[in-house]
Amino acid sequence: MTIVNSSSSVSDALSENGLISQVIDGFTPREGQQKLAEAIFETISEEAYLVAEAGTGIGKTFAYLVPALMSGVKTLVSTGTRHLQDQLFHKDLPVVIQALDIQAEVALLKGRANYLCIHRLYHAEHMEFMTRETRMELFQVKDWAGKTSSGDISELDSVPEDARVWSMVTSTADNCLGSDCPQYEECHVVLARRAAQHADIIVVNHHLLLSDMALKEEGFGELLPEVEAFIIDEAHQLPEIASNFFGQSVSSRQIMLLANDVIAEQIADAPDMGELRDIAQELIETGKLMRLAFGVETTRDSWAKIMYKPSIKSAVDDLLEKLTELTDVLELAAERGKGLENCYQRCLQVHQRLTKFCSKQDGSIDWYETFSRSFILHQTPLDLSERFQQQMQAYKAAWIMTSATLQVGGDFAHFTERLGMENYKNGIWHSPFDYQNRGLIYLPENLPEPSDGRYTTQLMQAMLPVIKASGGRTFLLFTSYRAMNEANEFLRQRLDYPIFVQGQKPKHQLLSAFKDAGQGVLLGTSSFWEGVDVRGDALTCVMIDKLPFASPGDPVLQARMDQIRNSGGNPFMDFQLPTAVINLKQGAGRLIRDVKDYGVLVIGDPRIMSKRYGKTFIKSLPDMKVTQSIQAVEGFYKTIRQQDEVCS
């Protein structure tokens, strides 16, 4: 790779006549993008820390790829989702490499669950509960397995990504046999790792990055190679994801997979030990009974509230007893094969985690969540700052944290304190979009409080003229499924525009249908508040029903609030408000995605005007004019469209 030693060279590459403009038609130079690229280059050169908020439209992807490539250091780029990972690797990186005319090795690395496991494929047909549909899918997987070179399961789009067969033919950190696996040398995960070890730029996602950190902390080895610079995109997601990875959990799915693997391995390597199969099947049934002990409702709550209930205590005791029984027999069978030895170690670990969960640990939040047929028991660290800093400092590397939503009121403390970051540079690079003239914030008048049972209906009534003025082309974003479904019932009887509701189709298909419709109205909850990019006339209105405060009954939130309160802080001002502000900024960011875009942001919650903290929310939003007049909304759309017609 060609190495430069000047930040001005990085800025030049992103200038009007620079290298990037020569390969991208219509490339528009942005001063903010150039300044951000310079700051990132300097941070990499100094092996320092940078926290960078880059407003929508800055073009932060190129702003970090150009200095990463031109600096010549080995760089790991971590994104929020696998979709963003694929876009970065297959679309953005090739363009920048071509423009800079740099010889660079790049690698895409995903978590184990994204790669076909050849060993587990051999045993899959012996697993329990093989339905006709799963057998058909397994046949497709076997056919594809003989053709793929990467083993990336996203290649086989004829099998749904949530199909049960994938858990049967992919591995986890628990069931992977590692170097003891007979198929180790042809393992797709191993081959992907080796490619990453020789790459100049490695693209991962946050789950893989944090999984590697957690595994390294526990002494199980390191998944990712050593790098000299870490660039964390969509960094606002990092603290919450890190809390999960530095904690521990026991789930009914984990128990089910263990039992199924025991059955498959017993058939292959210990056919004379039928008791293994019997106990494994009993373990599956015991796990189901444990789920029933929680009651029929799906919930998420503190473990302390139910841990002494007789039905729960009995179910846990039965599960521990069955795990002990299976462990004892597996210990005898372990010498029969590596798969059975692995099952023995996993069974021990599940037993230990369940035992630990049932005994209160200082510094952890113990909670549970149930779904229709499953459950998860969580131990989440109350404070991860010290542990995360140990991981950051273990590498002699630069760290760049960037996102469109990192600061609250010009302050990054809410983000950096959770990660224990000190001695870091920071900056805000504002969006180049003309929000003052192309955007409008509408706050409807005379709505009841969000706690009022009439709230959603009255908000939808207020939205009807807005949707009409926008010509459909609207996102309606809700903080709960209940409100979303209530709004759907109301609007279906009153709108002629096509309506799309979260859950009707997979997310990417729903978005595609919304864009194709041209005048659609899409109703969604939290998963549509970020990572959604609809440019052009298909989207000209975004409504947010309530200020996105987390549920006060959430067990993790309650524990964090108690900790802040006990240390003399203010839980609302120090945690609840900053978190809600960042979430609102994410939702609002769906509206204007391109320099030619325009639209109205509607915030229904009257507390944004009636409460003192409402000013903090308004201040955090893009610099748009604010109105409470529906006539002003209608006039805005009319004026913008007239102006655009003249310009075209």
Annotated domain spans of the chain: 7-105+199-244+384-429, 112-189, 248-381, 435-647
List, as one string, the DSSP characters of 180-196: GSTTGGG-HHHHHHHHH
Q: Does domain 248-381 have CATH number 1.20.120?
A: yes
- The pLDDT of residue 219 is 44
**Gap between the Cα atoms of 251 and 258, Å rounded:** 11
Overall average pLDDT of the 597-618 stretch: 96
Both tokens of 344, joined, read: 């023995």
Question: For the chain, how are helix, strand and coil distributed in percent, rounded to 5?
Answer: 50, 15, 35
Could you identify the residue written with the tokens 């690698």? 107
pLDDT in tens, 548-558: 999 888 898 99
Q: Give the least confident one: 453-462, 554-563, 618-627.
A: 554-563
Both tokens of 175, joined, read: 């069931």
Q: Give the least confident one: 6-10, 512-516, 642-646.
A: 6-10
Res 216 pLDDT > 80: no
* Residue 449 burial (C-beta neighbours within 10 Å; 0-12, 13-18, 19+): exposed
**Gap between the Cα atoms of 586 and 534, Å rounded:** 14
Residues 6+ positions from 301 with CB-CB distance below 8 Å: 367, 368, 369, 553, 555
- Percent of the chain past pLDDT 90, that is, above it, reads 72
HSE-CB of 618 using CA atoms within 13 angstroms: 20
- The pLDDT of residue 5 is 58
Q: Among candidates 392, 408, 390, which has minimal Cα distance to 400?
A: 392
Tell me whether strands 375-381 and 439-442 are parallel, antiparallel or unpaired: unpaired
Residues 6+ positions from 137 with CB-CB distance below 8 Å: 159, 163, 164, 165
CA 117 from chain centre, in angstroms, equals: 24
Q: pTM for the full model? A: 0.89
List, as one string, the DSSP characters of 334-363: GGG-HHHHHHHHHHHHHHHHHHHHTS--TT
Res 220 pLDDT > 60: no
**Gap between the Cα atoms of 116 and 513, Å rounded:** 31
* Residue 433 burial (C-beta neighbours within 10 Å; 0-12, 13-18, 19+): buried
Res 3 pLDDT > 60: no
Overall average pLDDT of the 96-102 stretch: 93
For residue 277, report the phi and psi dihedrals to the nearest 5 degrees: -60, -45
- The pLDDT of residue 648 is 64
CA dihedral 628, 634, 636, 637 (to 10 degrees): 140
Q: Give the least confident one: 87-101, 553-567, 568-582.
A: 553-567
Tell me whether strands 248-251 and 300-302 are parallel, antiparallel or unpaired: unpaired
Both tokens of 249, joined, read: 């959990």
Res 160 pLDDT > 90: no
Query: Would you say the CATH fold of 435-647 matches that of 248-381?
Result: no
**Gap between the Cα atoms of 193 and 203, Å rounded:** 12
**Could you tell me the CATH superfamily of domain 435-647?**
P-loop containing nucleotide triphosphate hydrolases (3.40.50.300)
CB 34 within 8 A of CB 67: no
Enter the DSSP assignment of 198: T
Q: Among candidates 288, 218, 301, which has minimal Cα distance to 255?
A: 288
CA 522 from chain centre, in angstroms, equals: 21
CB 192 within 8 A of CB 116: no
- The pLDDT of residue 244 is 86
Res 493 pLDDT > 70: yes
Q: Which SS3 state, helix, strand or coil, does residue 648 take?
A: coil
- The pLDDT of residue 129 is 62
CB 475 within 8 A of CB 527: no
pLDDT in tens, 423-452: 999 999 999 999 999 999 999 999 999 999
- The pLDDT of residue 643 is 87
Q: For all residues of the chain together, what is the average pLDDT?
A: 91
Overall average pLDDT of the 77-88 stretch: 89
**Gap between the Cα atoms of 66 and 201, Å rounded:** 11
Sign of CA dihedral 98, 100, 106, 109: negative
Compare 417 and 2 and report the one with higher pLDDT.
417
CB 547 within 8 A of CB 580: yes
**Gap between the Cα atoms of 40 and 31, Å rounded:** 14
**Gap between the Cα atoms of 128 and 141, Å rounded:** 18
Res 139 pLDDT > 70: yes
**Could you tell me the CATH superfamily of domain 7-105+199-244+384-429?**
P-loop containing nucleotide triphosphate hydrolases (3.40.50.300)
- The pLDDT of residue 1 is 45
